Amino acid sequence: MTIPDSRTRLHRGSPPPLRLDTFVSQKIATGVAKIALGLEDSITLGDTSICRDRGFAADYVEAIWLMPKQIESDD
């Protein structure tokens, strides 16, 4: 009897503490903190037309669920 071996690795872009102020989420968080401390009056975001596809979580979960069910790895 052969037991299938499967390994799944997921990577996030960058963890929130390591994000620079060039990431909009970090820029907003830093801006809100500065406003709360009275250091700034507003937040300037820059070009908001740029979008990043972060993917749909349910698709990732389905892929993780399907991986160990494969009889043979193809990569």
d(CA 57, CA 36): 32
Q: What is the pLDDT of residues 26-68, one digit of tens each?
A: 889 999 999 999 999 999 888 878 777 677 888 888 988 888 7
pTM (global) more than 0.85: no
CA distance 26 to 72: 41
Nearest residue to 9 (alpha-carbon basis) of 60, 52, 57, 56: 60
